[in-house]
Structure 1
Amino acid sequence: MARTTAYTDFNLAQHVLRAGLATPDKVALSLLSADTSEDWCFDRLTRAVRGTGTGLRAAGLAPGDVVLMRLGNTPDFPIAYLGALAAGLVPVPTATALTEGEVARLLPDLRPAAILHDPDVPCPPHPSRIDVDDLRAMQALPPVDWHLGDPDRLGYIIYTSGTSGRPTAVMHAHRAILARQMMFDGWYGLRPEDRMLHAGAFNWTFTLGTGLMDPWTKGATALIPAPGTLAADLPELMARHGATLFAAAPGVYRQMLKGRDHLALPDLRHGLSAGEKLNPVVRDAWTAATGTPVYEAFGMSECSTFISGCPDHPATPGALGRAQAGRQVAILSESGPAATGEVGTIAIHRSDPGLMLGYLGAPEQTAARFQGDWFLTGDQGVMDAEGQITYLGRRDDMMNAGGFRVSPVEVEAALANAPGVTGVGAAEVEVKPGVSVIAAFYTAPAPLDDAALARYAERTLARYKQPRLYIHLAALPTGANGKLLRRRLRAEFEARKDAGPDQA
């Protein structure tokens, strides 16, 4: 998948830190706690990154070696990540929530030359583990020479569960950072003077990209809440530290608004949301409480975010936005490009600089994701005449009602504001062999009256889109990144049904 780029000798870490050379004393990173902040200026950050690169090379690691990252939610994570890239190594960030057994199952395919390890993070045995204390000592070493090379060479590996539910290793090139610059205007409205607060942990790829790499590439300041910070505490931190942009998954917005109808955020221009579809009810509540909009983006581990609304081109109501400038996005049917207004699969052209190199050790799986020159995301959408794209859900989440395809996202949005409902997920479930219906799984302090919910649905949804079942849950199943797991809704319904009336 060769790309055309103006760059020849290139290094992702050098690219990220280059803007900071002009403002060495400016704060690049501020770790925020209730009463204090831990600040890293660009000069200190760059020296720590390059010193870490020197230490990793001195430990016997060579360019191209894979290093698995088992580090906690601290600045050590992005410093080690960039330090590895600076030295030409291939870092593999992983979530701290993984168990020792889950990590052990990754090792045969990854074959890491070393594991960067915090003793508080589960990690299987490995002949070369570099402790976090040793990593911190490396920060004071002389700077490593940037490992320069082809922008298309392997840079880093991340894991995605995809639609299989099993982790899949996604290989990205150094050039992937260049695609992220299309988000600066196409999503963030990012400026060098900005102070971007991201609500996620250091070791989440959403935080690593949107919350850290992108502000630093622009010469802006990244604000990260200290571990253990509650969503309810974020507004005060944002106000005190002058956050101008705020990024979070939709669930964080919902938690911040709980019990509040006003948030005083005098410096905030707007919010940014990604990871799953932001419910319109939450969006409207945020705008009413803060006086600021939220711009949403769509992407995936294989290509980051490439569809979004932005200050210059807000999304139309109900839509995600449009393809960012410089990116080729299409809606495809099985036979080719879908007509305007026709439902199809969201796809991005193989020439996109942010598109993955492929799945590690799985060329057939990689090839199966392409239709000609288009990478198929597996997500369904529809594009209007203005290029605005409405997201309809994963292809395997789409529901069928009497021959009509129904988006779970549409049903969830319609029911989210029903009296008493605090959360909702929709899925097609089989109630008896050969008979499936749309079910609405909802959370509320107590079970609600099914008839009242049905009457509400009648006012907001066409007949064929209305759920036939309403099921109260204590909590909706979500993944580690907060995404709703609709497959789990179906599976758990089937399990209860098969267990019989005593367990249903």
Structure 2
Amino acid sequence: MLSVFNEGTPPPVPASFNMAAYVLSAGARTPGKPALEVLGDAGTDQWTYRRLIAAVRGTGTGLLRLGLVPGDRVLLRLGNTVDFPVACLGALAAGLVPVPTSAALTEPEVAHCIAVTTPRAILCAPDVACPPLAERTDLATLRSFRDLPPVAWHRGDPHRPGYIVFTSGTSGVPRAVGHAHRAILGRRMMFDGWYGLTPQDRMLHAGAFNWTYTLGTGLMDPWTLGATALIAAPGTAARALPGLIAQHKASLFAAAPGVFRQMLQDGPAIAAPALRHGLSAGEKLPARTARAWADATGTPLLEAYGMSECSTFISASPARHVCDGALGIPQPGRRVAVLGPEGPVPRGTEGTIAVHQSDPGLMLGYYGAPEATAARMQGDWFLTGDQGIMQDDGQFFYLGRNDDMMNAGGYRVSPVEVEDVLSGCPGVRSVAVTDVEIKDDTRVIAAFYTADAPLDEKGLAAYVSDRLARYKQPRLYIHLPELPLGANGKILRRALRDRMKAPQ
């Protein structure tokens, strides 16, 4: 049997469509219901759907009054505040193309984003890095737009450009990813295929407003069903999150794996009587973390796999539990495969995870880079660049990025497999594994880890010796105060390789 999943059909795409109108339509039927609660030490800042919709549509009017026209790109340089989603949806409502970016980017990185997308306007908060350009609109002006009359929803071809996001750049220079308005329809398959989301849910997301994981999972998806989104105020520590889950009766909780690890360090039990389950995405979830969460909360931790180029399309769900270490199963309505050079490989065989071009959540392409877009296609399939295996029962296992796969003595080794083992070693808090060049033409596997203090290397070697084949075992163990992370929290293995590169 070949490694192809093709069960069910995606939601139909209407002839005329606007993403923002779609996201807020359920809330418009319950205007007095809380759409958003920002949870802080000083209290809760509550936004009803009435308040949210008025702010979004007023912002759309204000942006058009700047002289912008539908199709113009608008760069968002905004902080971890509600201004970010309001501006993003306001631009979409008016038919503009928002370009959300991380507040952690430096001026040179923002200059790259500007050069690639050539925005007509830049919405900029005073404490967020941005080159000193004349077309910036300041935060006070942006907020004043909320009181303007509502913009008419700009409806049109659902396949027209909707928004642009940048890849994490973990494997090179970040690329601009263009998505259509219909991309939001691709997310509907996640409601049952990952979340188990209902209109009655209260979804707490641990991420910042200006992270695309938060924007999609934490805000737009709950709003699409008319549920309530909960966001921790800026600066909230991970150890405070269990209290917020309980106090605010969160039924779903979403975060990156690193947040779950931090939450679990403070104690063996987390009291969360209203919580049904946790949701993890952003990077590979260690099986040990999932087990520890289940033990601490009595609820499962459901992982999902996706990328900037496509919304999550492989996941566990309340109805479809998977075995330890598996990514999950493709969501109903998706078409997913594992490919080799000649096409789908037999099940149980390593290959490149791919998603079919018909998926509504798949990008339009890399903005301004048609050749780069074409290079990621193999026939009708988009190549994710990630290696995986599809089992006979449809479960997917993740092996790592193509360019992260290690070669040890002629054997291909997945860094994820080695990290999963080392994450269980007593004293290890976090770990990243890659192969490094120690001299010309000589590469070995190295494990970079964080711990309260450097651990005995012989003890680390002994721990893995009974759990990994010899060729998979690290030859170097390097203690770091912290692992290098990108703006989205992903480990930068390239930075680890560079620090160990042999001198030329």
TM range (shorter): over 0.9
Q: Contact 2:438–2:500 at 8 Å: present in 1 too?
A: no
Matched, 1:45 2:52: yes
Matched, 1:386 2:393: yes
- Give the counterpart letter for 1:315 in structure 2: V
Moved more, 98-107 or 271-280: 98-107
Deviations 1:180-222 (A, max 9, x none): 0110000001010000000011110000000000000011000
Matching residue of 2:410 = 403
Which of the pair has the greater relative contact order for Cα pairs under 8 Å at 6+ separation? 2
Q: Contact 2:329–2:396 at 8 Å: present in 1 too?
A: yes
Matching residue of 1:62 = 69
Matched, 1:432 2:421: no
Matched, 1:311 2:329: no
Of 189, 195, 199, which aligns to 1:192?
A: 199
Matching residue of 2:7 = none
Deviation at 1:287, TM superposition (A): 1.1
Matching residue of 1:289 = 296
Q: Contact 2:105–2:487 at 8 Å: present in 1 too?
A: no
Residues 357 and 473 (structure 1), Cα distance of their counterparts in 2 relative to 1, 3 Å cut: same
Matching residue of 2:5 = none
TM-score, structure 1 normalization: 0.96
Matched, 1:476 2:483: yes
Q: Distance in 2 between matches of 1:56 and 1:421?
A: 49
Moved more, 438-447 or 314-323: 438-447
Residues 163 and 227 (structure 1), Cα distance of their counterparts in 2 relative to 1, 3 Å cut: closer
Matching residue of 1:377 = 384
Q: Distance in 2 between matches of 1:123 and 1:113?
A: 15
Deviation at 1:28, TM superposition (A): 0.2
**What are the residue-to-residue correspondences of 1:78-117 with 2, within 5 Å?**
78-117=85-124
Q: Contact 2:11–2:185 at 8 Å: present in 1 too?
A: no
SS of equivalent to 2:489: coil
Deviations 1:35-76 (A, max 9, x none): 410001111111111111111112211101111111111111
- Give the counterpart letter for 1:242 in structure 2: K
Moved more, 209-218 or 392-401: 392-401
Aligned positions, number: 495
Residues 434 and 6 (structure 1), Cα distance of their counterparts in 2 relative to 1, 3 Å cut: closer
Matching residue of 1:502 = none
- Give the counterpart letter for 1:115 in structure 2: I
Of 204, 207, 210, which aligns to 1:203?
A: 210
Of 62, 68, 76, which aligns to 2:83?
A: 76
Matching residue of 2:362 = 355
Of 239, 257, 267, which aligns to 1:232?
A: 239
Q: Distance in 2 between matches of 1:206 and 1:49?
A: 20
Matched, 1:498 2:491: no
Matched, 1:147 2:154: yes
Matched, 1:219 2:219: no
Of 10, 14, 18, which aligns to 2:25?
A: 18
SS of equivalent to 1:24: coil
Moved more, 463-472 or 346-355: 463-472
Deviation at 1:108, TM superposition (A): 2.6
TM-score, structure 2 normalization: 0.96
- Give the counterpart letter for 2:241 in structure 1: L
Q: Distance in 2 between matches of 1:344 and 1:354?
A: 22
Q: Distance in 1 between matches of 2:62 and 2:450?
A: 50
Q: Distance in 1 between matches of 2:346 and 2:470?
A: 26
Deviations 1:104-132 (A, max 9, x none): 23223322111112122122233322222
- Give the counterpart letter for 2:35 in structure 1: A
- Give the counterpart letter for 2:75 in structure 1: L
Matching residue of 2:327 = 320
Q: CA RMSD in A?
A: 1.5
Matched, 1:452 2:459: yes
Q: Distance in 1 between matches of 2:412 and 2:290?
A: 26
Q: Distance in 1 between matches of 2:109 and 2:475?
A: 38
Q: Distance in 2 between matches of 1:338 and 1:348?
A: 14
**What are the residue-to-residue correspondences of 1:333-348 with 2, within 5 Å?**
333-348=340-355
SS of equivalent to 1:151: coil
- Give the counterpart letter for 2:158 in structure 1: P
SS of equivalent to 1:405: strand
Deviation at 1:464, TM superposition (A): 2.0
SS of equivalent to 2:471: helix
Which runs of 5 or more residues in structure 2 are unaligned?
A: 1-9
Deviation at 1:485, TM superposition (A): 1.5
SS of equivalent to 1:106: helix
SS of equivalent to 2:123: strand
Residues 6 and 112 (structure 1), Cα distance of their counterparts in 2 relative to 1, 3 Å cut: closer
Deviations 1:365-403 (A, max 9, x none): 000001111100000000001110000110111112222
Moved more, 311-320 or 426-435: 426-435
- Give the counterpart letter for 2:451 in structure 1: A
Structure 1 runs of 4+ with >6 Å offset? none
Q: Distance in 1 between matches of 2:489 and 2:112?
A: 23
- Give the counterpart letter for 1:379 in structure 2: D
SS of equivalent to 2:355: strand
Q: Distance in 1 between matches of 2:407 and 2:76?
A: 42
Q: Contact 1:273–1:295 at 8 Å: present in 2 too?
A: yes
Deviation at 1:419, TM superposition (A): 2.1
Q: Distance in 2 between matches of 1:271 and 1:404?
A: 36
- Give the counterpart letter for 2:470 in structure 1: R
Deviations 1:330-360 (A, max 9, x none): 0001121111110000000011101111111
Q: Contact 2:22–2:224 at 8 Å: present in 1 too?
A: yes
Matching residue of 1:161 = 168
Q: Contact 2:124–2:136 at 8 Å: present in 1 too?
A: yes
Q: Contact 1:34–1:237 at 8 Å: present in 2 too?
A: no
Deviation at 1:13, TM superposition (A): 0.1
Matching residue of 1:177 = 184
Residues 163 and 486 (structure 1), Cα distance of their counterparts in 2 relative to 1, 3 Å cut: closer
- Give the counterpart letter for 2:492 in structure 1: L
Q: Distance in 1 between matches of 2:429 and 2:13?
A: 50
Deviations 1:147-190 (A, max 9, x none): 00000000001111345421211100000000001100000010
Which runs of 5 or more residues in structure 1 are unaligned?
A: 500-504
Matching residue of 1:34 = 41
Residues 477 and 109 (structure 1), Cα distance of their counterparts in 2 relative to 1, 3 Å cut: closer
- Give the counterpart letter for 2:194 in structure 1: W
